[in-house]
Amino acid sequence: MPGKVWFVGAGPGDPELITVKGRNLLAVAGAVLFAGSLVDQAATLYASDGCTIRDSKDMTLEQITAWLIEQAERHEIVVRLQTGDPGLYGALIEMTRPLDAASIAWAVVPGVSSAMAAAAAAGETLTLPEVTQTVILTRVAGRTPMPPGEDLAALAAHRTTLCIFLSITLLHEVQRALRAAGWPEDAPILVVQKASWPEQEKIVRGTLADIKRRCQDEKIATQAMIIASPALGARHWQDIARSKLYDPAFGHRFRRASITEGSSS
């Protein structure tokens, strides 16, 4: 029987942000194929000394799937180590369809997305009561076109949190789309390059009007997450709406509401 291929999310860059399950699989894998252009090679340090390790940055999809199939014929556990989470912009289905055709079992271990890592690095929240309760993960159309109805201007019209992947070289298009959706020039924008990467992370804050210039000043042109959100900077606001979950006047099955003067259950 052939082995099993595990698609493991390595997280955003810091090798300590891989999940315990992912790290344990690396430790027992017979072969590991990692995305060297994106995944810090330090993540492969969790692999055993006898493990076959290959960098995929110079491989085509066909070469990747052929390698995975070949290694699954030799080893019980094979790991495809991918940046962030395998289900986000990771060509997961393109790689697993040939495995299905070859009757090779596979499974996914989720990872920390750069969207969450970027917000964490900047000390920001992606949702805030009565401000935004929706997060849209998207990108600007480049060589990969956007499906009908998913252009950034249409999504930005919802005025919710936008986590914009793979678009730092098209920051002018991000600005154009947000302006077309009615975002004001002073709307806060956050850009984080290499979120969580030791000694390589850069955090740039700006507005719709000046974020491109600020990123140019910092020479940020690759591997950056763009976040546009009405919740950015909320920790410095004078007042915010209180979360009902922790409001003493709001009861739930784990806590009774406490009624005080001026409040209601």
Tokens representing 216 are: 């140019």
Q: Which residues contact 15 (CB under 8 A, 6 or more apart)?
A: 40, 42, 43, 45, 46
pLDDT tens by residue, the chain, 265 residues: 889 999 999 999 999 999 999 999 999 999 999 988 778 777 888 999 999 999 999 999 999 999 999 999 999 999 999 999 999 998 999 999 999 999 999 999 999 999 999 999 999 999 999 999 999 999 998 888 899 999 999 999 999 999 999 999 999 999 999 999 999 999 999 999 999 998 999 999 999 999 999 999 999 999 999 999 999 999 999 988 877 666 666 666 666 767 664 444 3
Among 208, 205, 163, 206, CA closest to 181: 208
| 173 three-state secondary structure | helix
pLDDT at position 265, please? 39
Domains, the chain: 4-109 (3.40.1010.10), 114-234 (3.30.950.10)
Alpha helices (runs of H) in 53-167, residue ranges in sequence order: 61-72, 92-101, 114-122, 152-156
Distance CA 11, CA 204 (A): 21
pLDDT at position 217, please? 97
CB 226 within 8 A of CB 174: yes
Instruction: State how far the alpha carbon of 208 is from the alpha carbons of 39, 44, 205, 260, in Å.
Output: 30, 39, 10, 43
| 28 three-state secondary structure | helix
CB 225 within 8 A of CB 140: no
pLDDT at position 104, please? 97
In SS3 terms, 220-264 reads as CCCCEEEEECCCCCHHHCCCCCCCHHHCCCCCECCECCCCCCCCC
